[in-house]
């Protein structure tokens, strides 16, 4: 079954909308396209205030992407404890953290060469 070709911009837009629907915080987009040997083109990083909110963000993103783009993550991990959940949409990987776990791993620093775009939220 051939997968329809969804461009990264569409996917990012729908993912951001899914995060914002449940008030995910501190949303950053890391553009990795200029960096050699990366596993994807973009990371989207955000945080929730609890494992309940992290799970809600993941569910919101999955539902919205499924409904609007008919796409599903190729792989998801971390849902067991919902401290750091990774959703792999191949070209776009979403990281949903709880604040203290995000600070500990600080993946924005690890990918310091990436162009980072902070998303303003109105809540």
CATH number, position 90: 3.30.460.10
Within a domain: 28: yes
Question: Is residue 8 within 8 Å of residue 91, measured between CB atoms?
Answer: yes
Within a domain: 123: no
- Which residues span the domain enclosing 31? 8-109
Q: Write the pLDDT tens digit of every residue in 44-75.
A: 999 999 999 999 999 999 999 999 999 999 99
pLDDT value at 5 more than 70: no
Q: According to the model, what pLDDT value does residue 12 have?
A: 98
Within a domain: 14: yes
Long-range contacts of 99-102 (CB under 8 A, 24+ apart): 99/25, 99/47, 99/49, 102/26, 102/45, 102/47
Q: According to the model, what pLDDT value does residue 6 have?
A: 74
User: Is residue 19 helix, strand or coil?
Assistant: helix
Within a domain: 73: yes
pLDDT value at 119 more than 80: yes
Tally the domains of the chain.
1
Q: According to the model, what pLDDT value does residue 26 have?
A: 97
């Amino acid at each position: 079954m051939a997968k329809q070709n969804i461009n990264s911009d569409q996917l990012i837009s729908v993912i951001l909308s899914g995060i914002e629907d449940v008030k995910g915080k501190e949303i950053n987009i890391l553009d990795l396209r200029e960096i050699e040997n990366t596993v994807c083109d973009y990371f989207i990083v955000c945080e929730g205030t609890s494992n309940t909110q992290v799970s809600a963000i993941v569910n919101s993103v999955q539902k919205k992407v499924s409904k609007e783009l008919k796409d599903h993550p190729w792989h998801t991990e971390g849902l067991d404890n919902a401290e750091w959940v990774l959703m792999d949409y191949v070209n776009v990987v979403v990281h949903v953290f709880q604040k203290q776990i995000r600070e500990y791993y600080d993946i924005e620093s690890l990918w310091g060469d990436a162009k980072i775009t902070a998303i303003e939220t109105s809540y």
